[in-house]
Structure 1
Amino acid sequence: MDSKIKKLYDMLYSPILTPYNLLDNAKLPNYSYVKYYKGNDGIIAEMECEMEDIGIRTFYYCFDQRDFLLRILMEFEGSKNIVFDRSDEVELAKKDYYNNKGELKKAN
């Protein structure tokens, strides 16, 4: 149960990852570039990397003004797909916590 509370807490109050954490990716041999620019909500970190078995992909890490990760998008053939969305993860963590909380009450 503690891990479910921690996950929910992290989704609500932790940056999870900051723009600064991504800078070292530029040093990795499978990354072509890492660049930063301003978006509507905060900073966007764009990076292109070659992934084993699936080829080259471009990722967009979107951060808010506090440098909290909001979402990750992966671009392939001109289409961007959501890989991570903080709002969705918060809702999933809440559901997981409350579902298990109910099961603990039944066991007592």
Structure 2
Amino acid sequence: MKKMLILSAILVSGLTIAQEKKPVLEQEGSLVKATYYHENGQIQQQGFFKNGKLEGQWVSYDENGVKKSIGEFANGEKTGKWVFWNDKTLSEVDYSKSRISSIKSWKEEAIVNK
């Protein structure tokens, strides 16, 4: 069963995240923790699979290790609040069953001037 779970996680991750380096997969209870890496060795993404589907918190980072996004999956679907950072913008996206229900964005200037 563990082999099938890990194989499913690898197949799903290959379809959802295109990259050259192979992920590191670790069994954690009923979940499989997946860690993907940038070419420079920094973590690119980290999250979990359950029964071959994305599950729980996923976090992504840029090549310098700076957090770029954080969000939740439930049974393979994006759910709840996701936060995305880039150079000058912070965005909060609410998902329901992998569909965007609302978006809020703040630019650095608006935050600094308040």
TM-score, normalization: structure 1?
A: 0.42
Q: Which has the higher helix share?
A: 1
TM-score, normalization: structure 2?
A: 0.41
Q: Which has the higher strand share?
A: 2
Structure with more contact order per residue of length (Cα contacts < 8 Å, sep ≥ 6): 1
